[in-house]
Amino acid sequence: MSAIRMLKTFIAVADHGSFAAAAERVALTPAAVGAQMRALEDLLRRPLFDRTGRAVTFTPAGVALVARARRLIADYEDLLAEAPASDEIAGTVTIGAIVSAMGALATSVVDLKVPYPLLDIRIENGRQPDLYAKVLTGELDAAIIVESTRPDGRAAIWSHLYSEPLMLVAHARVALPGVDAMDLLCSQPFIRFDRAVTTGARIDLLLRRCGIQPNELVAMNSLPAIVELVRQGAGVSIAPVLRHFGWDRDPALCLLPLPGKPWARRVGMLESTRRMSVTSVIREHFVRKHGCDTGQP
């Protein structure tokens, strides 16, 4: 675990007065904050908190560490903020991405090796909540994720890249001309996108509003895997049409609009404010290469 990350969490505890309040600030659970603080104590070989009462109370060592931790973090962020000139973009940045954006990000990274040979871009795949938290705590410099709660702008900035419309995905054999999406949902096995994620919850809400209880075959948390099952004729699904996967050009698939107001999930880049001079170069190249619809609201 990064010592810098632990010190940032320690400062959040000092600023907000409790593990629970600090957890909200650094996008962790209170239990994770507690685990980080125990790890920090082990690393420094001294107790930082008096745990005899219910309130968070610092030991003398903890009180002394607060000011030193602030100076260390300030020096660390000043060092990282010393960006080179635009024609001398260099150093190491780490960019995360949800699985549906990994291919597009990887091709952008390969392209950038030519104009910026001194820039080392490392990419990391992960789950949406984990990527969001890592950008806020500084473990990642940026991440391509689905829009959720926007940050306050101090630790990170959100930029919209493109949208992925929500549609019914069916095999071409069952999606005959003139067929209605709702009829297919009622008559075909349904492959559900996991309700635990934002898009899955939106799909569940749509089904309930339409009064449909589909014949659920399986629930999955991978959109490419869901569409592969549809391609094999296992059933139908409701899913955001992933921008870089070419489902609209697949002769085995049929994409049908859903009733009501169209909805699309918004995908964008969340960038740590401390490295935006570099991550903005990556974002701008990504937009140029992939024709992103950043002009949309």
Query: In CATH, what number does 86-160+266-290 get?
Result: 3.40.190.10
Chain center to CA of 159 = 12
CATH class of the region 163-264: alpha beta
C-alpha–C-alpha distance, residues 101 and 126, integer Å:
11
C-alpha–C-alpha distance, residues 52 and 198, integer Å:
40
Per-residue pLDDT, 86: 46
Measured over the CA atoms of residue 279, residue 284, residue 287 and residue 289, the dihedral's sign is negative
pTM of the predicted structure, to 2 decimals: 0.67
Per-residue pLDDT, 41: 92
pLDDT (tens digit per residue) in 128-184? 889 999 999 889 999 999 988 777 777 889 899 999 999 999 999 999 888 999 999
Per-residue pLDDT, 81: 61
Four-CA torsion 278, 36, 152, 293, nearest 10 degrees: 50
Quick check: 174 and 236 in contact, CB under 8 A? yes
C-alpha–C-alpha distance, residues 109 and 130, integer Å:
22
Per-residue pLDDT, 297: 40
Beta partners for 253?
171
- DSSP character at residue 294: T
C-alpha–C-alpha distance, residues 35 and 38, integer Å:
5
Q: 142: part of which helix (H) or strand (E)?
A: strand 142-146
Query: In CATH, what number does 3-81 get?
Result: 1.10.10.10
Q: Which two tokens stand for residue 15?
A: 């600023």
pLDDT (tens digit per residue) in 114-132? 888 888 999 999 988 899 9
Per-residue pLDDT, 190: 97
Q: Which two tokens stand for residue 237?
A: 């699904």
Distances (CA, A) of 230 to 66, 144, 238, 246: 55, 26, 10, 15
C-alpha–C-alpha distance, residues 131 and 129, integer Å:
6
Per-residue pLDDT, 82: 60
Please state the domain extents for the chain: 3-81, 86-160+266-290, 163-264
- Same fold: 3-81 with 163-264: no
Q: Residues of the chain whose pLDDT is less than 50? A: 85-86, 295-297
